[in-house]
């Protein structure tokens, strides 16, 4: 059984929320963390990409371009 996009997206959102204001996270940072959390057989780069897209499409996170591309909480949260 593999992880669902919603599960990975929720875990990514919690990680972004946890590091908000402390550390900027790149998409690759989140992908590596999710593969480590869920395991290689449960989660892959394609699933992580879909989860990030889901977070962006729903407005839960947004991109920040400050010397690189980072995934952050929207300014109003």
Structural domain boundaries in the chain = 5-72
For residue 62, the model assigns a pLDDT of 95
Residues 26-76: pLDDT tens digits?
999 999 999 999 998 999 999 999 999 999 999 999 999 988 899 999 987
For residue 76, the model assigns a pLDDT of 74
pTM of the model: 0.92
Residue 60: partners with Cβ closer than 8 Å, 6 or more residues away: 9, 13, 73, 74
Helix axes 45-58, 27-38, angle to 10 degrees: 120
For residue 67, the model assigns a pLDDT of 86
For residue 1, the model assigns a pLDDT of 47
CATH number of 5-72: 1.10.10
Q: What percent of the chain has pLDDT over 70?
A: 96
């Amino acid at each position: 059984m593999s992880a669902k996009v919603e599960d990975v997206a929720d875990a990514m959102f919690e990680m972004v929320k946890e590091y908000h204001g402390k550390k900027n996270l790149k998409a690759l940072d989140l992908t590596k963390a999710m593969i480590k959390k869920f395991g290689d057989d449960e989660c892959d780069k394609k699933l992580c990409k879909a989860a990030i897209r889901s977070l962006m499409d729903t407005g839960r996170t947004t991109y920040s371009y400050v010397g690189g591309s980072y995934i952050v909480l929207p300014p109003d949260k």
